[in-house]
Amino acid sequence: MVLPKTEIGENVLPEEVKYSKIGAFLISLTIGFIGGMVGAPGAYIFTPLMIYFLGIPTKIAIGSTMGIVFVASISGALGKLVTGQVPYLLTAAVVLGAVPGARFGAKYTKKVPAATLKKALSVVIAFAAIRMCLDVLQKLNYL
C-alpha cells in the first residue's frame, strides 16, 4: 500500500474504470477460498490487489471492497448465527459503534486524498500482520 501509484483521478466514476474482469474473478476466487479456510474476510487483501493488479482507483477500490465483503460475509454470518457461535451482547455493542462510524467514514473519505487513505490502510494492514505474527509465536510458545 505504500508503493507509489499514479491515480487516474480523484473524482472518477465507477462506470469509467477499466479493469480485467477475468483478473477480478480470479483474485476474488482465490481470496474467497483462502478466507473461507482461515476465517479472514479478505478486506485488507482485496483493496491492495484491486489497486495494484486491477488498476482501480483507491477510493473506488475501498468502496468496492466494503460492498464485496458485506455481501460475502452474509452467508458466513448466517452460518455462525444458526450454529450459535455469535455472542449477541458483544455483537450488538460493536454494531452500535460500527454503523455510525462507517457512515461518518464514508462521508469523510470524500475530503481525504487517496494517498492518505492508502497510508492509513497500510498502517491497519501492518498492525493486523504484526498481531497475527505475535499470535502464531505465542501459540508456538516462542513468546
Q: Which residues contact residue 60 at a Cβ distance below 8 angstroms, ignoring those fewer than 6 apart?
A: 12, 14, 17
Q: What is the pLDDT of residue 39?
A: 59
Q: Which amino acid is at 123?
A: V
Neighbours of 30 (CB within 10 A): 13
Q: Measured between alpha carbons, how far is 36 from 132 in angstroms, rounded to an integer?
A: 17
CA angle, corner 32, sides to 135 and 83, nearest 5?
70
Confirm if 47 and 121 have CB atoms less than 8 A apart. Answer: yes
- Does the structure show a pLDDT above 80 at 67? yes
Q: What is the pLDDT of residue 100?
A: 93
Mean pLDDT of 73-102: 87
Mean pLDDT of 42-62: 85
Helix locations, the chain, DSSP H: 21-38, 43-52, 58-82, 88-108, 114-139
Neighbours of 56 (CB within 10 A): 24
- Does the structure show a pLDDT above 80 at 65? yes
Confirm if 111 and 27 have CB atoms less than 8 A apart. Answer: no
